[in-house]
Amino acid sequence: KEHEIFIVAGTAEKDEKGKLYNSAVIVGPIGGGYIGKYRKIHLFYREKLFFEPGNLGFHVFNIGIAKIGVMICFDWIFPEAMRTLALKGADIVAHPANLVLPYAPRAMPIRSLENRVFSITANRIGEERGLRFIGMS
């Protein structure tokens, strides 16, 4: 709040019925901190064993200085994800990720160019349970 920053962070979310979602929250210095959330729609590989597909749709959050859309990790591979956020008025698409395939770092600038929006990918690095995360944010 002191520095007037906004954060988009990935998290595992359990809803009131006990269902799990791969989600991202947006927080900032307005509205008491919490601004909103997005639940990942396009699940990748074994995520389908643990998480439900998102049920909130693609949403754009107006933070005053910009309109922020959010998509998570594998959502990038579907052009409609970025296109939907752009058509809803996003200036910036925040893209928290645990990428294991090497394509997204090259594709995201193209998605941005196609849709005339900026994008920010924050990607994990390292290895866990045999998966190597590519980094390259």
pLDDT exceeds 90 at position 53 = yes
* Confidence grade of residue 84 (pLDDT, cut at 50, 70, 90): very high
- CATH fold of the domain at 7-134: Nitrilase/N-carbamoyl-D-aminoacid amidohydrolase (3.60.110)
Q: Domain extents for the chain?
A: 7-134
Phi, psi of 46 (to 5 degrees): -75, -5
Q: Provide the whole-model pTM.
A: 0.92
CB-based contact 123:136 (threshold 8 Å): yes
Phi, psi of 112 (to 5 degrees): -65, -45
DSSP letter at 54 equals: P
Type of residue at 120? I
- 3-16 pLDDT per residue, tens: 889 999 999 999 99
pLDDT exceeds 80 at position 31 = no
pLDDT exceeds 90 at position 32 = no
- Give how far Cα 74 sits from Cα of 55, 65, 98, Å: 16, 27, 9
Average pLDDT over residues 71-100: 97
